Amino acid sequence: MPVILKVDSRRRVVYSTFYGKITDEEILRHGHTIKSDPDFKRDFSEIVDFSAVAELSISDATLTKIANAPSLFSESVKHIIVATSDEGFQIASRYKQLARKSRRNLIVVRTREEAYKLLGIKPD
């Protein structure tokens, strides 16, 4: 799967860094990967980074499906999507709109620095 998952217990953040070509299948499987990580806690914040993605092939049906599914995270958790490309930003913004009830604290930003600042943490 073209994603690197890092659960940082010290900072209380789940980092998902996607790269290469991302399809519906990778996006749909990723929730299981997070849930299976022994260090995952529901009250951790989340950063999903699409900066290294070369091609996004995610359908509206998949966006709707994951937006309507219950979040693995607690309701108060911040979910931040880093989307540097225009295409990625548009897809992430569409997802944010679809997930406004299930992920109320979802924010789409252009840089990792913005994501870290919103969570009040310093980059590695």
Convert the pLDDT of each residue in 11-42 to its tens digit: 999 999 999 999 999 999 999 999 999 999 99
At 123 the pLDDT is 81
Is residue 108 pLDDT above 90, yes or no?
Answer: yes
Is residue 124 pLDDT above 80, yes or no?
Answer: no
Q: What architecture is the 3-119 domain classified under in CATH?
A: 2-Layer Sandwich (3.30)
At 122 the pLDDT is 87
Percent of the chain with pLDDT over 90: 97
The answer to whether 95 touches 62, Cβ cutoff 8 Å, is: no
Convert the pLDDT of each residue in 43-58 to its tens digit: 999 999 999 999 999 9
Residue type at 1 in one-letter notation: M
Sign of CA dihedral 117, 23, 73, 8: negative
- The model's pTM: 0.95
At 1 the pLDDT is 61
β-strand 13-23 against 3-8: which pairing, if any? antiparallel
Query: From the CB of residue 35, how many other CB atoms can be counted at a distance below 10 Å?
Result: 10
Mean pLDDT score of the chain: 95
* CA proximity to 15, closest of 31, 4, 24, 2: 4
